[in-house]
Amino acid sequence: MNSIDKLSEIFARFPGIGPRQAKRFVYFLLSRNGDYSGELVKAVQDLKKEIIQCSECMRYYAKNGYDSKLCSICADDTRDNSMLMIVPRDIDFEAVERSGSYKGYYFILGGVVPILEKEPEKRIRIKDLEFRIQEGKKKGLKEIILAMNANLDGENTAEFIKQKYHGSTLTFSTLGRGLSTGAELEYADPETLKNAFLHRTK
């Protein structure tokens, strides 16, 4: 296989990229001068060098010179110790943090548990979570917010974690369901309407 095909194949494994777009990426790189490819190579190499995983929340963050095993959020002791929000992936953490509505800590689960999955522990960071919760409890952790996507896998993952901690003194909550911004009654599904009614705001 020549290197056009080889690189196309690698790009085609990127999320959401098919073989045709992968090839466009390769020709795009070829048509740019050498500096651009060099820049890409350097950025990928730097990524592996500079980005480490936070030992508490497991998210990826840039070391940035300062010597810490904790990301900026886990290192920030002004946040609310009583709450830990579990999200599937780094990009979900980013969305929640950007919304500015939550001031507690996070834990990145690393994935979800699909229905009928026989080995959930291979899909998610269940041991790291165990450890994080033990440590959290020492500092006043009271509520675990299971912030999952509103689909079957998300619900199954939340259920899996809740059962794991059945009998615990912690409160487990899930994100509120209802009308998303822009939703219209006419097109809303019965489940969403039911939740919108049950969780109405007075």
CB of 80 to its own copies, least distance (A): 12
Using CA atoms, how far apart are residues 45 and 39, in angstroms rounded to an integer? 10
117-136 residues near its own copies, rule: CB under 8 A: none
Taking CB under 8 A as the criterion, the residue among 105, 110, 136, 160 binding its own copies is 110
d(CA 67, CA 173): 34
SS3 label, residue 52: strand
The residue (of 50 and 135) whose beta carbon lies closer to its own copies is 50
Is residue 168 involved in binding its own copies (CB under 8 A)?
Answer: no
Torsion angle (degrees, nearest 10) of CA 55, 57, 63, 68: -50
Residues touching its own copies: how many (CB under 8 A)?
92
Residue 115 is a binding residue for its own copies (CB under 8 A): no
For the chain, the straight-line distance linking the first and the last C-alpha, in angstroms and rounded, comes to: 65
Q: Which stretch binds its own copies (CB under 8 A): 11-19, 114-122, 130-138, 159-167?
A: 11-19
Shortest separation between residue 122's beta carbon and its own copies, angstroms: 14
Residue number, 81 or 149, with CB nearest to its own copies? 149
**In the complex, minimum distance from the CB of residue 148 to its own copies, in angstroms, rounded to a whole number:** 8
| Residue 150 interacting with its own copies (CB under 8 A) | yes
User: What does the alpha-carbon distance between residue 69 and residue 104 come to, in Å, rounded to a whole number?
Assistant: 19
Looking at the Cβ atoms of 37 and 168, the one nearer to its own copies is 37
Verify binding: residue 12, its own copies, rule CB under 8 A. Answer: no
Say whether 183 sits in a helix, a strand or coil. Answer: coil
* Contact assessment for residue 144 and residue 175, using Cβ atoms and an 8 Å cutoff: no
Contact assessment for residue 173 and residue 143, using Cβ atoms and an 8 Å cutoff: yes
* Residue 44 interacts with its own copies (CB under 8 A): yes or no: yes
